[in-house]
Amino acid sequence: MAYTWSTGVLATSVGAFTNSMVFHSPAHMSILAVHIGPPLVVYTFRWYNNELQGAYPDTFHISPEAPATFHDLVWLPLLGYFILWTVPYSLTVFVFLKEHIEGGAMVTMFSYYEKVLFGNKGIFPAIRSKEHRQALYMLTHGTICSLTFLIAFVCWHSFWLNTAWLLALIHLSIWNGATYYFKVCMNPDRLGGLRNATKVFHEIRSRTESEEQARNILEWKESRLGKSPVSSPTSSPTKVVEDSKIR
């Protein structure tokens, strides 16, 4: 059941929620870890169990070599999904905390996809009843989850397909992250702010160099008059000016 949920639903969420490998963003990296971490763990349990048992003896009591049927990998996880997720989610979001969620304008999976499914340009624009939308959303969610369980069933019986599936998801997260960086870096507002920051930096640097040049000339003059023998410069004012221009 854990293998099916991880390799199926959680892994598919990498693409469904456009998870991105954005290293400087804790929000992006944490949600990516939630969705890609468990599939990698059960992948290790399934295909590298002997190495795992050798490294950590008497720790993980699992036997992935045992035969797994369609009933074990699809029907039982589907029943568990209905009992452990569908019913609690529906009661919590649509009944018990309905007013609290809607009053606080909180984002849930239903509200996140409501416009996609039921908006004017959505898949089911004719459905206006809130209750009908909620029921159809749960049916759609259950159907998609069932299909991902089939992916997990195939991956359980093929090392190469399981490996290719995870590599494809990791590659997708890298692609999403690269796209995110490109959009952020090429954003006109950010570019404008960067140009302004660069301009300010150069102005401050130029002002600092001018002040340093004037201070060096003043110190040289004072040293020539005998007022500050300790801080006498090793170069003439002309050389100081030339050196500052070179910088």
State the chain's mean pLDDT as an integer. 83
* 194, pLDDT greater than 70: no
* 217, pLDDT greater than 80: no
Q: Which has more confidence, 207 or 147?
A: 147
The band of 10, judged by pLDDT with boundaries at 50, 70 and 90, is very high
* 243, pLDDT greater than 60: no
* 239, pLDDT greater than 70: no
Q: What pLDDT sits at residue 41?
A: 94
The band of 98, judged by pLDDT with boundaries at 50, 70 and 90, is confident
* 122, pLDDT greater than 90: no
The band of 187, judged by pLDDT with boundaries at 50, 70 and 90, is low
The band of 245, judged by pLDDT with boundaries at 50, 70 and 90, is very low
Q: What pLDDT sits at residue 34?
A: 94
DSSP string, the chain: -HHHIIIIIIHHHHHHTT----TT-HHHHHHHHHHHHHHHHHHHHHHSHHHHHHHSTTT----TTS---HIIIIIHHHHHHIIIIIHHHHHIIIIITHHHHHHTT---HHHHHHHHHHSTTSS-TT---HHHHHHHHHHHHHHHHHHHHHHHHHHHT-HHHHHHHHHHHHHHHHHHHHHHHHHHHT-HHHHHHHHHHHHHHHHHHHHHHHHHHHHHHHHHHHHHTTS-STT--SS-HHHHHHHHHH-
Q: Which has more confidence, 244 or 212?
A: 212
Q: What pLDDT sits at residue 176?
A: 94
Q: What pLDDT sits at residue 229?
A: 47
Q: Is the pTM of this model over 0.95?
A: no
